[in-house]
Amino acid sequence: MTTTTSTSGGCTSCGCTASTLERVRYYPRQLLTADDMSAEQQYVLQKDRNHVRNLHGWGVVCGMEVVASATETSPWRVRVCPGHVVTPQGCEIQLAELATLDLATGAQTAVDPCAGAWPCPPTGAMPGGKPGQVIQVYVAIRYAECPSRPERVLPAGCGCDETACEHSRIRDAFELGMLWELPASHAAAVRADKVWVKAFRQWQNQSAEDPATPAPAPACLVCPDDPWVVLARVALPAKGAPLADGAITYHGRRVLYSVSAIQALLTVP
């Protein structure tokens, strides 16, 4: 789904917002404007996103299976199943119904009425490859916001201008896309995981000799500019050949285990 972005900030930019947050301080006889209300929303949104990405991490939380859904007219079409994703910036994507993506044309099912252009499209071009070489593409998803519920704006002054229109809502949305390379954010996250695990295991060995040794704290997550979360890797067949499920793997997918998933691992016999 392609979406237009709103003016509410947050994850509509291609990176994270500034670390300094401000909230509105109310006082008697205060004149409140739309900017004050937006600041109040943004404070809560960014606090929540910081909490999600720093305390829980990012990746595919549940679902989001990618399966082949070839038709005679769209032999390279895939279907993305419902699920939940947290982006590297801490934004949450809730896919409530099936969505499809045609890997040949980039066409997507419109599960939301918003339409337009994303301000930070993926870079790079499809690799040419050598004759007989298998070309692989990553199916990914990113968070977006789109304006909804247009309403007439009350005219100012004499009321001559009655044609102005503003959207009264901002809808959480998403966009599916194709990437020719694994995003740098995914590779960096894997490296950070290995560094943290190595440090923790070293502490375990040291604490056996000196129990007073404090446990190490993991490094803070780096907030990347790239908003994509990889769902699957697809090996594209020969031109015109239908896509099969065997061509789809989950290489490159980063999984974020929920508390309930970890509880099941620890308690279910």
Cα dihedral 7→10→15→21 (10° resolution): 120
Q: Which positions ≥6 away from 78 have C-beta within 8 Å?
A: 66, 67, 68, 69, 100, 101, 103, 139, 232, 234, 243, 248
pLDDT (0 to 100) of residue 17: 60
pLDDT (0 to 100) of residue 220: 86
167 class by beta-carbon count within 10 Å (0-12 exposed, 13-18 middle, 19+ buried): middle
* Mean pLDDT, the chain cut into blocks of 10 residues (269 residues total): 39 57 92 92 91 93 95 91 95 92 81 49 50 78 84 70 75 88 92 93 85 86 87 89 92 94 92
What does pTM read for this prediction? Answer: 0.82
- 11-25 CB burial, b ≥16 within 10 A, e <16: bbeeebbeeeeeeee
pLDDT (0 to 100) of residue 110: 57
pLDDT (0 to 100) of residue 263: 93
pLDDT (0 to 100) of residue 27: 94
Radius of gyration of the chain (CA): 23
pLDDT (0 to 100) of residue 160: 61
pLDDT (0 to 100) of residue 37: 92
pLDDT (0 to 100) of residue 183: 92
pLDDT (0 to 100) of residue 1: 42
Say if strands 135-152 and 229-236 run parallel, antiparallel, or are unpaired.
antiparallel
pLDDT (0 to 100) of residue 211: 79
Task: Give me the residue label for tokens 């968070």.
Answer: 143
